[in-house]
Structure 1
């Protein structure tokens, strides 16, 4: 008899796939009993990098252009999409981000399968997502009550995100913490790179706190530490940050490929993650770049923001400061720049911690078990 086809999990991400979102497909790299099939409504640069089958709703044969906005705004699922999903033997829907859950809810409802939603940070923290704005409510606001009632599970990338959703009235039994993982590279060299180059990686948006990174760099240099800063990423604050960095040894490198980011980490003294809650309420969940740096033997200097302390223990696996405390960040930079033994100790203990708690293969296996338990 022929082998029974592997049933599928439909992974919904409305925008497939923005360049910084490699953490989305990484969640499924160790699946063996469920076959990931990706679906979105908008195609982005990372779409061609997906190794699993992926589709854009408007590009499915038989789906008319007018059916896409009807699906998004009114939740009317095209018959062609349902036939496509049933043809793939979809048994469960896993939506990325809260808004993705709201958009995917009608699909799970029409298929009669469980819906799981992963909340990543800003989708739980931004006040505008939950503010009553009748009659001009967003898709998420309109479907939020139904999403809480009908979803099988909300997975939170950190305990911080879980606490936010509890404060918003989500019932406790619906919420579970599931940390994202990172792929473990070969064991990095034990020697410290020459020089004192700091590295920031991420979108140039307020919650990343990169203005504090520039100010901390300047303060550390005033204290006599010969440190420099590379910033990898792009975003709406680039011009403002470049102006703030004028006269300081700061390079803005734009978006880089993963191998280029890895090379920059290999040459840096530390990853600087000065995240802070933005005025809008936007906050991190647990930045995967923290885990990637630890896995590559790069010590982390960060703020006690969101889920970061779940991965970085102060003076054990990294150095932490309060949000917005530029002087404390400068102190941490100076400590690490001037203490070879501290650098080595933080590196070694972070390497052990990240490999034990945040290995992508192990976390992917755990995710598959969670999804299978709902079938």
Structure 2
């Protein structure tokens, strides 16, 4: 079998999210790739010639009723004759050797609307789909059924995530862990600044699970407890909680210590990490159960040799070893967080953090590992088909 495969990649919203976009770019350079998506917001690195867009019904009464049933864990079905025709026509024309689906919840739209196939299908779990959705009993039941099929497999981004899925009855033998990775050539420290004030930073979307509220309360507690005002906290990003976080900083009288530069592009993010002393990322579990996978930005910060303050949350301890790569604390532990802010200032830049990224969280390694899995699955399928 030729190592260049026909790979159909299903991703409902195809955008610049690093851990999906970089992987799809890599696969497109080594195989014949078609991306099946509903929405697309990408740059010129990926040709629109390889994109197939589909349409779903979102405003019909039938769709609204179905969404209500899904939200209340009464039924979980995305079957649609219109979508089914689109998907099966694409499969018949492209003749994929393997299909990759990103995000477990979105993947059900695809799985529910294709004819029975024997070629390998790989589901990529990333976070919400392997945490909050696991509270939905119909979702769990459906995936237990799908993963029992001999041609359907799963890849997730941490051992913690794999164990969560296994605890719900997902076939552990069908799940492979492949860690996210970052571009180590881009995220490489070029200088070691001697800052007049100690700089902490976080780069993230302003959402609840990013723990920004607790970060502000912890720095407020740190000020009260240690009376050290020689620091700057830079919270970069944008999102639904931006206004609330700005108001909280003002209410806690932290305006002189906190900066909000807004959304940063990749180059600007690197420049911020370059001047930072410590990276903070207080990930928490949402009320609906939503959890991180492993935040890519922590990988980037560690590639830049930064010590990290984060939490014992999801797969983060697999990346950040407590007291070695930084300090981990319990979620929402403001007192512990304040103490960590004080203690971590004894750390310097950590070359061992970059070494860990080189060994286990490097982008090319991630892409090669996913590619090897795809090649192995298709090769095994071909052997079985020829018997």
Q: TM-score scaled to structure 1, two decimals?
A: 0.83
Aligned: 1:228 with 2:228: no
The secondary structure found in structure 1 opposite 2:162 is helix
Q: 1:86 to 1:298 in 2, by over 3 A?
A: farther
Deviations 1:88-139 (A, max 9, x none): 442111111111221222466455421111111221111x55434xxxx7xx
- The CA distance in 2 between the partners of 1:12 and 1:180, in whole Å, is 19
Q: Which residue of 2 aligns with 1:125?
A: 131
Shift of 1:147: 2.6
Q: Which residue of 1 aligns with 2:31?
A: 34
- The CA distance in 2 between the partners of 1:108 and 1:292, in whole Å, is 38
The secondary structure found in structure 1 opposite 2:105 is helix
Aligned: 1:90 with 2:96: yes
Q: 1:279 to 1:93 in 2, by over 3 A?
A: same
- The CA distance in 1 between the partners of 2:363 and 2:130, in whole Å, is 23
Give ranges in structure 1 of 5+ residues lacking alignment: 60-64
- The CA distance in 1 between the partners of 2:44 and 2:263, in whole Å, is 16
Equivalent residue in structure 1 for 2:53, among 48, 53, 56: 56
With 146-155 and 25-34 compared, the bigger mean Cα shift is at: 25-34
Aligned: 1:101 with 2:97: no
Contact 1:108-1:114 within 8 A present in 2 as well: no
Shift of 1:220: 2.5
With 288-297 and 72-81 compared, the bigger mean Cα shift is at: 72-81
Q: 1:86 to 1:255 in 2, by over 3 A?
A: farther
Q: Which residue of 1 aligns with 2:163?
A: 163
Contact 1:193-1:266 within 8 A present in 2 as well: no
The secondary structure found in structure 2 opposite 1:37 is strand
Aligned: 1:254 with 2:262: yes
Shift of 1:49: 5.0
With 238-247 and 283-292 compared, the bigger mean Cα shift is at: 238-247
Shift of 1:143: 4.4
Equivalent residues in 2 for 1:1-375, closer than 5 Å: 6-17=4-15, 21-31=17-27, 33-43=30-40, 46-49=41-44, 51=46, 53-58=50-55, 73-76=78-81, 77-79=83-85, 81-106=87-112, 109=115, 112-126=118-132, 130-132=135-137, 140=139, 143-150=142-149, 152-186=152-186, 187-189=188-190, 191-194=192-195, 195-222=197-224, 223=226, 224-246=228-250, 247-248=253-254, 249-337=257-345, 339=346, 342-344=347-349, 347-375=350-378
- The CA distance in 1 between the partners of 2:263 and 2:118, in whole Å, is 41
The secondary structure found in structure 2 opposite 1:24 is helix
Contact 1:82-1:111 within 8 A present in 2 as well: no
- The CA distance in 1 between the partners of 2:262 and 2:147, in whole Å, is 38
CA RMSD of aligned residues (A): 2.8
Aligned length: 349
Contact 1:15-1:40 within 8 A present in 2 as well: yes
- The CA distance in 1 between the partners of 2:348 and 2:113, in whole Å, is 50
The secondary structure found in structure 2 opposite 1:323 is coil
The secondary structure found in structure 2 opposite 1:153 is strand
- The CA distance in 2 between the partners of 1:365 and 1:108, in whole Å, is 28
The secondary structure found in structure 2 opposite 1:221 is helix
